[in-house]
Amino acid sequence: MTSTPLARPTMRFSERPLGRFWREYSQSHAAVFGLVMTLILIAVAFLAPLIAPQDPYDLMQVDFMDSELPPGAIGGAGQTYVLGTDANGRDMLSALLFGLRASFMVALSSLGIALVFGTLMGLVSAYAGRWVDSLIMRIVDIQMSFPTILVAMMLMVTFGRGIDKTIFALAVVQWAYFARNVRASALVERSREYVLAAQLAQVPTFRILWRHILPNCLPPLMVIASIQLASAVSIEASLSFLGLGMPVTQPSLGMLISNGFGYLLGGKYWISVAPGIALGLTVFSLSLMSDRLRDMFNPRLKR
Amino acid sequence: MTPDAKIETLLEMQGIEHVFGRREDWVDKGVRLIRGKRTAPARVRALNGVDLTLGKGEVLGIAGESGCGKSTLGRAMVGLMHPTGGSVTYRGQPVMRGRRPLHLKLQMIFQDSGSVLNPRLRVKELIGEGPILHGLLARRDLEDFVADQLETVGMAPDVMNRYPHQFSGGQRQRINVARVLALRPETIVCDESVAALDVSIQAQILNLFMDLKDRFGLTYAFISHDLGVLRHISDRIMVMYLGRVVEEGPAAEVFANPRHPYTRALLENAPRLSRRNQIFQAVPGEVPSPLNMPSGCAFHTRCALRRPECSLSVPNLMGTGAHRHACPIVEAAA
Ligand SMILES: Nc1ncnc2c1ncn2[C@@H]1O[C@H](COP(=O)(O)OP(=O)(O)O)[C@@H](O)[C@H]1O
Ligand code: SF4
Ligand SMILES: [Mg+2]
């Protein structure tokens, strides 16, 4: 083999291979449960058109005569409504799966946009410094000093409901977290010797940012992203619950809950409760999954 | 200034001063007036008028306790930062363009702190990046090139696909040297380049530095708090105290016949290569804070020879020829 013996791996978490990462992550059974649930929920959500008993928004498939049936009831065509039906005779299980899909779609795409934009702003802020940095960070401060849900609501009221507008509003309220975090990591990385060495080697600024600084800022960024996913899902649910978010043609979990709300007192609890439980389970799983990541990256909690 | 007129001067620093800390702008001033504070915010005077020349082929050792401004000086030398005062030129040109270093021929090797090499890049990417960017190397020749570079620093070519964390400190420093050499430098500033290594490895790396110097005709400015290291390799020595040069001269002369009380104290207490790696506390007494520089000769708070007049004015470098020192008291005694 080689004349140079291998040294022990370093202490830095980010440098360890995936295996070590998993070993540490899986020490928490709750976290593994959260991760597995998250993956199942996302898979189920995106496979909704394939696995749902009906397309709840195709009027041809919905039988109005089957409205407000309780869970387990048999429909006019002989089908079983596992979770019952709503006031229009929609199969609640199908509505729920499609709702989950809408929720994840909006949450994930807003997260993606916020991540890319926030990261870009954070990098520019850290590397440009001076007034560019001050300007971007003041905007971040202002953004973060308002309650997230309030900003999102104001945007939705201003621009009206719709998928694209919901995604936009959620991206607007989330990018600042990424920007601030990336800036902090990038400032640390920027003064490390390997970045100074790259400057001495006349590596162009863009390449230093892209190839040297950014990859070393990614691990904490992924933690933030995983934490933000739960928050994106719940903000979207709140908006849609208030009738400010998704359009009626594409209801998410939040809107399903709100649709069934009026029937709660009439004893038709399932119309609201089923999507409510689904939402709760989703946010709970996402939090379990991300809390572990956060703990692992927080050096103060490490032995 | 040049020790030998025939030697070409590569690097020249004149009157270098550096103060860390933001300059007060009008907002700060306003706040200070409102709050009724008398004094401006604390600022660290890291360098207080350093002159230096580096001749081609020379090894200049820069000594001094931790915190005396060596790293700041080193970074200013290679153009990683603008000192707040003075000029730095390399072959007669400024070392910076805008906020970036200008000369590819002027490189720096840092202390191995675990972050001298980008942890996300493989050895071959680390070594090949610069040369490919500068057209010194075609991408398809990368592996051959990297193998050559690794051989130059005494490492096997098959490590090129590994990541930095898979190596020991000494190996990482070799890879770092290979990375710098791949840029075909002429002058290298080494800042505590062996300080983090075990004593036996230190000697190996120092020998490597000296081999490479002969082989490639390199010029070094070698910064170290460790006189044992500098004694090994330097042609010329510069001793710094709190951002000023207190003694400089040919290494053999300074080591054999130190003049400044600070240099003497350092040498009396300097650990030999054999028993180093202890916490460096060569000179008795605390180093004063550069936040609050002592007046006059900055060493007067610790000097055994001090006289009342020592705290009155800053002594200039004196003495004839290349060996000079900044203490009028020993001058009178000599
Ligand atoms: N970025 C910085 N900001 C403020 N003070 C600094 C900074 N870098 C160094 N200093 C201070 O400047 C002085 C000289 O530091 P340095 O050049 O690193 O000394 P050395 O390398 O000799 O140990 C020290 O007092 C140090 O605390
Ligand atoms: S000038 Fe005075 S205080 Fe300074 S080194 Fe000489 S004797 Fe000591
Ligand atoms: Mg230093």
**Residue B207 is part of a domain; what is its CATH number?**
3.40.50.300
Q: Quick one: pLDDT band at residue B113, thresholds 50, 70, 90?
A: confident
Inter-CA distances, B160 with A132, B144, B151, B179, Å:
39, 10, 11, 12
A11 has a pLDDT exceeding 50: no
Average pLDDT over residues B129-143: 93
Q: Is residue B154 part of a domain?
A: no
- Restricting to B residues 124-143, those with a Cβ less than 8 Å away from any Cβ of A are 129-130, 133-134
Q: CB of B183 within 8 Å of any CB in chain A?
A: yes
- The one-letter code for the residue type at A288 is L
B279 has a pLDDT exceeding 50: no
A214 has a pLDDT exceeding 70: yes
The total domain count for chain B is 1
Tens of pLDDT, residues A91-141: 888 888 888 888 899 999 999 999 999 999 999 999 887 888 889 999 998
Per the structure, the complete domain to which residue B296 belongs is given by 9-105+185-333
Q: Is residue B126 part of a domain?
A: no
Q: How far apart are CA A276 and CA A261, in angstroms?
A: 10
Q: Is residue B125 part of a domain?
A: no
A21 has a pLDDT exceeding 70: yes
Q: Quick one: pLDDT band at residue A194, thresholds 50, 70, 90?
A: very high
Using only C-alpha atoms, chain B has a radius of gyration, in whole angstroms, of 21
Return all residues near A65 (Cβ < 8 A) that are at least 6 apart: A76, A89
Across the strands, what pairs with B55? B9
Domains of chain A: 103-270+289-301 (1.10.3720.10)
CA nearest to A128 within chain B? B99
Q: What is the per-residue pLDDT for B156? A: 93
SS3 B30: helix
Q: Quick one: pLDDT band at residue B261, thresholds 50, 70, 90?
A: very high
Q: How far apart are CA A191 and CA A126, in angstroms?
A: 11
* Of B306, B318, B325, best ligand 2 pocket probe by most atoms within 8 Å of the beta carbon: B306
Q: What is the per-residue pLDDT for B41? A: 66
Inter-CA distances, B304 with B285, B286, B298, B299, B310, Å:
11, 14, 13, 10, 12
Q: Quick one: pLDDT band at residue A3, thresholds 50, 70, 90?
A: very low
Q: What is the mean pLDDT of chain B?
A: 87
Return all residues near B42 (Cβ < 8 A) that are at least 6 apart: B21, B291
Could you list the beta-strand ranges (E) of chain B.
Answer: 9-20, 44-55, 59-63, 85-90, 93-94, 96-97, 100-101, 106-109, 187-191, 219-223, 236-241, 244-250, 324-325
Could you list the beta-strand ranges (E) of B56-122.
Answer: 59-63, 85-90, 93-94, 96-97, 100-101, 106-109
Q: What is the per-residue pLDDT for B60? A: 96
Q: Quick one: pLDDT band at residue B150, thresholds 50, 70, 90?
A: very high
Proximal ligand: closest to the CA of B283: 2
Closest CA to B99 of A159, A89, A196: A196
Q: What is the per-residue pLDDT for B34? A: 79
Q: CB of B316 within 8 Å of any CB in chain A?
A: no
B165 to A10: CB separation less than 8 angstroms, yes or no = yes
B240 φ/ψ angles, rounded to the nearest 5 degrees: -110, 145
- The one-letter code for the residue type at A113 is I
A9 has a pLDDT exceeding 50: no
B278 has a pLDDT exceeding 60: no
Which residues of chain A lie closer than 8 angstroms to B156, CB-CB?
2-4
Inter-CA distances, A4 with B159, B302, B316, Å:
8, 46, 50
% of chain B with per-residue pLDDT over 70: 91
Contact B185, B26 (CB under 8 A): no
Q: Is residue B127 part of a domain?
A: no
Q: Is residue B118 part of a domain?
A: no
Q: What is the per-residue pLDDT for A244? A: 87
Across the strands, what pairs with B324? B248
A302 has a pLDDT exceeding 60: no
Q: Is residue B121 part of a domain?
A: no
Q: What is the per-residue pLDDT for A1? A: 39
Quote helix, strand, coil % in chain A, to nearest 5.
70, 0, 25
Q: Is residue B18 part of a domain?
A: yes
The encoded tokens of residue B83 equal 């000192």
Tens of pLDDT, residues B9-66: 999 999 999 999 866 667 777 777 777 766 666 788 899 999 999 999 999 999 998 8
Across the strands, what pairs with B107? B188
Average pLDDT over residues B286-304: 86
A52 has a pLDDT exceeding 80: no
Q: Is residue B93 part of a domain?
A: yes
Contact B229, B56 (CB under 8 A): no
